Amino acid sequence: MLSAARHIDEIARRVRRAGGALLFLDFDGTLAEIATTPESARMSARTRRALKACVARYRVAVISGRALADVRRKVGMRTVAYVGGHGTEYSIGRLRGVSGLPAALRASLRDAARRFLPLCKEYPGLRIERKPSSVSVHYRRLEPRALRSFARIARRLCTDIAAEGSLRIMFGKRVLEFMPAIGFGKGHAVGLLRRELDPRRTLPVIYIGDDTTDEEAFRALPREITVRVGVRRSSAARYVLRRRADVDLLLERLATL
C-alpha cells in the first residue's frame, strides 16, 4: 500500500480531472475512534467540521455495520447518504429501503446470538448486539486473561456456526460480526451507492475504512481511491493512513480541492 499522505497530490489530481468524486466512509475507526461500547463512539469536533466541508463539495455516503437509524444519529447530516447493516438498510436521497431477510436467515442470526448469550455471565464486559440483519459479539472490554479463554470458546462456536453455511463471520476489532453468507456486505453497498449517486460512473470513488468488513469494498473498487486506516500486513486498499487522526487531515485537504 502507498501512503495516502505522501501521495495526496496524486489523489488530488485525479479528483480535479474528474471535477469531483464520490466520498464513501466507514464510521467506527474511521470517522470516530473505536470506543469501549457502541453507544459511546462519537465524532470529534474537528472530524465533524472536516466532514461538513466535504459534504459541501462531494457526494458523501457513510457505510456502516451499525443499524441505519443508529449511524444516521451518530453523523446527523441530512444530505449524506447512509447505508447500515452492511448493506441491508439504506437511505440515499429519496431512495430508502430495507432488504428483508428470509425467515431461515433470521432464525440463524437468533441462533448465533443464543449460542453466545450464556457467555455474558461468565465474561463480564461481553456484549451481544442484535441488529436488523446481523449480530455483533463485542469483547473489547474483556480482561486479557479472560480474553484468552473466551477466544478458545468463540473459535469453537464460530466453527460450528460457519459449518452450517447460512452465516458468514467477519473478525473485526475486538468484535465478531455474524451476517448472511450471500447477498450483502460493503461490496454490495458500494455498488448500490454508485448506481444511485453516479449512474454513468464519471466520478472516481474515494473509500476510507479501517476494518475487515471494509476489505470487501476495497476489492469491489480495484481502480478507485481506496484508503485503509491503520497499518495491516495485507489489504486490498491502494493507500494507507497510519492513524485515525490522519483521516481528518485527508478530509481537510479534500475539502480544499
With cell 451499525, the residue in question is 66
Q: What is the rounded distance in angstroms from the CA atom of residue 228 to the CA atom of residue 241?
A: 6
Count of residues in the chain: 257
- Domain positions in the chain are 2-99+184-255, 103-180
Question: Is the model's pLDDT at 71 over the cut of 80?
Answer: yes
Between 42-46, 95-99, 103-107, 229-233, the lowest mean confidence (pLDDT) is in 95-99
**Phi (first) and psi of residue 132, to 5 degrees:** -55, -30
pLDDT band with cut points at 50, 70 and 90 for residue 87: confident
Average pLDDT value for residue range 238-256:
97
* CA 122 to chain CA mean position, Å: 29
In this structure, the strands spanning 22-25 and 89-92 are: unpaired
Instruction: Give the per-residue pLDDT at 200.
Output: 93
**175 near 138, Cβ under 8 Å?**
yes
Q: What is the rounded distance in angstroms from the CA atom of residue 118 to the CA atom of residue 135?
A: 15
130-144 confidence digits (pLDDT tens): 988 889 999 999 988
Picking from 93, 46, 86, 40, the residue whose alpha carbon sits closest to that of residue 67 is 86
Average pLDDT value for residue range 8-31:
97
**131 near 86, Cβ under 8 Å?**
no
Residue type at 231?
Answer: V
**68 near 82, Cβ under 8 Å?**
yes
Q: What is the rounded distance in angstroms from the CA atom of residue 174 to the CA atom of residue 151?
A: 10
**92 near 140, Cβ under 8 Å?**
no
| Sequential DSSP letters for 11-34 | HHHHHHHHT--EEEE-SBTTTB--
Average pLDDT value for residue range 56-64:
97
Instruction: Give the per-residue pLDDT at 86.
Output: 82
Strand partners, 23: 60, 206
**CA distances (Å), origin 98, targets 2, 13, 101, 107, 170:** 36, 37, 9, 18, 21
CATH superfamily of 2-99+184-255: HAD superfamily/HAD-like (3.40.50.1000)
Q: CATH assignment of 103-180, given 1.10.240.10, 3.40.50.300, 3.10.20.30, 3.30.70.1020? A: 3.30.70.1020
Q: What is the rounded distance in angstroms from the CA atom of residue 169 to the CA atom of residue 178?
A: 5
**CA distances (Å), origin 200, targets 136, 187, 196, 197, 252:** 36, 19, 10, 9, 27
H helix intervals, the chain: 8-18, 45-55, 68-75, 103-116, 119-122, 144-164, 186-197, 214-220, 245-255
Instruction: Give the per-residue pLDDT at 36.
Output: 85
Between 100-104, 159-163, 232-236, the lowest mean confidence (pLDDT) is in 100-104
